Amino acid sequence: MKKLLMLLAALLLAVAPVLAEDAEMPAVPVEILPQTEGLMYMADAIAAAKATLPVLPADCLTRAELVRMSDGSHQWIVTVFDLGNFADGWCIAVDAVSGEVLMTDATTIGYFDTVSARWQVVKGPEALWSLEDKLLFDTLYTMQPTYGLPMDGDMSQGEALVKAMAAVGVTAVEDYDIGYGYIMGAGDANGVWEVWFMNGDEMIYKVNLDAVTGQIYLIEPDEEGNG
């Protein structure tokens, strides 16, 4: 019995750090939901969010989305951007059940670094997020979403990788962590594949190419010194 108790104690000690790490993992949005009965209305969430701002810009863009979070809770994500300078912005999370304001993030550059940092704790480097995650982040937190999903007529993700490898002279994809983005085209036009060659959280190369023709639009770093 004594040996059994000692074994159980050792197992608990081994599991404790993992549990503590999970407890510290921030909750992030998983999906956008339609207005749901029993949850706060959009107009009320926007009013609660704006009430927290010290000064409401005279001309602002306000968006709100009801989301399910990774911890199972429901929140309204309300973003307010100052159209006077296109840089100042606020992102306010409102509990969709209680109406409590849970968190406010601010930016002076038009991009919510603190929100991205929380997502990266959960999902890893931003360049390696899935296409769906990049689309969700953009939809929730940017003034004008850029990322989308591939369209009919686009080359496949694998074909885009092959062309990007040729553009930067990469022959062994196993040497890198590969990330993808899809930048939406204007209107109904097809977009641009974005292919990242990463080493952990360090970007080695990024290639942007036409999703239909494969024309190379951008290579970073620009080793020829252009631009």
Specify if 24 maps to a domain.
Answer: no
**Per-position DSSP letters for 10-48, written without gaps between them:** HHHHHHHHHHHHHHHSPP-EEEEE---TTS--HHHHHHH
**Pair 59, 83: CB distance under 8 Å:** yes
Q: 172 and 116, same structural domain?
A: no
Q: Please give the residue range of the domain that contains residue 179.
A: 157-220
Residue of 144 and 2 predicted with greater confidence: 144
Q: 99 and 39, same structural domain?
A: yes
Q: 163 and 114, same structural domain?
A: no
d(CA 216, CA 211): 10
Flag whether pLDDT at 138 surpasses 80.
yes
Specify if 77 maps to a domain.
Answer: yes
Q: What is the pLDDT of residue 91?
A: 97
d(CA 18, CA 28): 19
Q: 208 and 161, same structural domain?
A: yes
d(CA 78, CA 69): 14
d(CA 211, CA 223): 23
Q: 195 and 104, same structural domain?
A: no
How many CB atoms are located within 10 Å of the residue 20 CB?
A: 9
Q: 83 and 168, same structural domain?
A: no
Residue of 133 and 227 predicted with greater confidence: 133
Between strands 60-69 and 29-33, the pairing is antiparallel
Q: 127 and 47, same structural domain?
A: yes
User: Over the stretch 84-110, which tens digit does the pLDDT of each residue have?
Assistant: 998 999 999 999 999 999 999 999 999
d(CA 93, CA 95): 7
User: How many separate domains does the chain show?
Assistant: 2
Three-state SS at 174: helix
Flag whether pLDDT at 16 surpasses 70.
no
Joined together, the tokens standing for residue 171 give 């022959």
The CATH number for 36's domain is 3.10.450
Q: How confident is the model at residue 4 (pLDDT cuts 50, 70, 90)?
A: very low
